[in-house]
Amino acid sequence: SSWWSHVEMGPPDPILGVTEAFKRDTNSKKMNLGVGAYRDDNGKPYVLNCVRKAEAMIASKKMDKEYLPIGGLADFTRASAELALGENSEAFKSSRYVTVQGISGTGSLRIGANFLQRFFKSSRDVYLPKPSWGNHTPIFRDAGLQLQAYRYYDPKTCSLDFSGAMDDISKIPEKSIILLHACAHNPTGVDPRQEQWKELAAVVKKRNLLVYFDMAYQGFASGDINRDAWAVRYFIEQGINVVLSQSYAKNMGLYGERAGAFTVICSDAEEAKRVESQLKILIRPMYSNPPLNGARIASFILNTPDLRKEWLVEVKSMADRIISMRTQLVSNLKKEGSSHNWQHITDQIGMFCFTGLKPEQVERLIKEFSIYMTKDGRISVAGVTSGNVGYLAHAIHQVTK
C-alpha cells in the first residue's frame, strides 16, 4: 500500500476552472474575462519594449550566474524601495527601511507573513478587507496567523462601504495586523479616495494597528506611479511604520520572472539591519536566495533613466487602455438600452471590475454567450478589447434587462 492513500485530492482552483472551460469552448466569439494578466487590444500578452531593451542590454553584458545574496539584488531592492516610497521620502533617505527581494507579490507577502508570525507577538490576527484576493487567506494561514475581516465592498452600490469599514476598523483590537490594498483593490477595483485614506490612516493610528500594504499594481492602476503609491507614502508620513509587499508582475509584465519585494519601515537604520538579518534567516530555508532574471530586468529599467522614462509611458498606456475599455463598456451598455446604473465600472480602477452581476447571470453569460468570468461577477478588464467590448455589452444587457 501507499504512504499517500489517505491524501485527499485538493479542491480545484476556481479561477483555473474558468480558463479550462474557456479553452474547451469552440465558440469563435468566446471571451476569457478570468485572466489575471494584461492583454493588448488584440487580446495578446504584451512584452513591454523597455523590458525587451533591458533584456538586450543584459545579454550584451555577458554576466555570470553566481548566487544572489539572500536578500536579493541590491540595485533592485534599493530602486524598489525608492519607487514605492518616493525619492524624497524621509524614511528612504535616512535608510530606516529594509527591502528584500521576494518571489513576486506572493513570495513577498509570504516572507512578510512569516516574519510577523515570528516577531510580531502582539497579535495572531490579520484583518483582510471583505472581499480580498483569494490567496491572501491561505498565505497568512500557512504562515501560522489567523484571519479576520473588515467591511469593505458594498454590493448594493458596487463601491466602497466606507462607513462600514471605518466602523469595523475602529473596533479592531489594538496592535492587530491590518492588510490594505495600496491601489487597484483586487478583486473589486474599488479604492478609497484620498480624503478617505486620510481618515483610514487616522483610525489605524488611533488603534495602533500594524499596517501591511499589498501593492501589486503601482502605475498600473491610474497610470501614475506616484498617484498609485499615495496611500503608502501618506501613511508613512503620518508616522505609521508600515510593511509593504510589491509586485512587478503586472506593471512591468514580468509575471513568470517573479520579481517582487518586501519592505519593513523601521524606527532607524540600526533596527533595519536587525530586521534584515532575521528576514534572511527566514528566506534561507525557503529557497536560499531569489531568482535573478526578473529582478535584473526591473533593476535595469528603474535605474536607467531612458528605460525608466519609457517604462512610465508604457505602464500608463496599459492603464489607459484598461480605463478606455471601462469607458467603452459603459457607453456600449447605454447604447444597448440598458437602464441600469453602470457607473461603478468607470469608478472602479485597475485590472478587475466587480460588475454586480449575480451568479445566475454569470451562468448565462458563460452558457449562452461563451463569456467566462468567476461566479462573483468579477471580470478582468484586461480581457476586453475594442473588438469585443460591443459583444460584451450586448451580452450583459441581455442577461440584466
Partner 1 sequence: MAASIFTAVPRAPPVAVFKLTADFREDGDARKVNLGEGTALPLLAAYRTDEGQPWVLPVVKKVEQMIANNNSLNHEYLPILGLPEFRANASRIALGDDSPAIKENRIGSVQSLGGTGALRIGAEFLRRWYNGNNNTATPVYISAPSWENHNSVFVDAGFKDIRTYHYWDAAKRGLDLQGLLDDMEKAPEFSIFILHACAHNPTGTDPTPDQWKQIAAVMKRRFLFPFFDSAYQGFASGSLDKDAWAVRYFVSEGFELFCAQSFSKNFGLYNERVGNLTVVGKDADNVQRVLSQMEKIVRTTWSNPPSQGARIVATTLSSPQLFAEWKDNVKTMADRVLLMRSELRSRLESLGTPGTWNHITEQIGMFSFTGLNPKQVEYMIKEKHIYLMASGRINMCGLTTKNLDYVAKSIHEAVTKIQ
Catalytic residue IDs = 133, 214, 250
Give the list of residues 6+ apart from residue 362 with CB closer than 8 angstroms, or none.
373, 374, 375, 377
Q: Which stretch binds partner 1 (CB under 8 A): 7-15, 22-30, 145-153, 187-195?
A: 7-15
Q: Which is nearer to partner 1, 110 or 181 (CB)?
A: 110
97-103 and 259-265: which strand pairing?
antiparallel
**The only residue of 280, 316, 358, 364 in contact with partner 1, by rule CB under 8 A:** 280
Least spacing, CB of residue 285 vs partner 1, in Å: 4
d(CA 155, CA 30): 27
Query: Using CB under 8 A, which residues numbered 34 to 93 contact partner 1?
Result: 37, 45, 47, 51, 55-56, 59, 62, 64-70
Strands 146-151 and 125-130, how do they pair? parallel
Cell 501507499, residue located: 2
At residue 379, what is the residue type? Answer: I
376 Cβ partners below 8 Å, 6+ apart?
131, 187, 354, 359
Q: For partner 1, which is the closer residue by CB, 23 or 401?
A: 23
CB of 174 to partner 1, least distance (A): 11
- Cell digits of residue 373: 468570468
Q: How many residues bind partner 1 (CB under 8 A)?
A: 76
Q: Does the protein bind partner 1 through residue 241 (CB under 8 A)? A: yes
Question: Minimum distance between the CB of residue 163 and partner 1, rounded to whole angstroms?
Answer: 27
Task: Pick the piece of the chain touching partner 1 (CB under 8 A) from 8-16, 306-314, 326-334, 340-348.
Answer: 8-16
Of the ranges 187-195, 225-233, 248-256, 310-318, which one interacts with partner 1 (CB under 8 A)?
A: 248-256
Least distance in angstroms from the C-beta of 99 to partner 1:
15
C-alpha dist (Å) from residue 197 to 128, 180, 193: 16, 10, 6
Site for partner 1 in 25-44 (CB under 8 A): 37
Cα separation, 197 vs 93, whole angstroms:
24
Chain positions 110 to 169 lying near partner 1, rule: CB under 8 A, are: 110, 119-120, 122, 135, 138-139, 141-143
From 24, 26, 88, 285, residue interacting with partner 1 (rule: CB under 8 A):
285
Q: Are 46 and 40 in contact (CB under 8 A)?
A: yes
In order of 85, 192, 231, 242, 299, the CA distances from 160 in angstroms are: 25, 7, 16, 23, 35
Contacts of 304 (CB under 8 A, 6+ apart): 54, 57
CB of 76 to partner 1, least distance (A): 12
Looking at 78, 181, 233, 258, which residue binds partner 1 (CB under 8 A)? 258
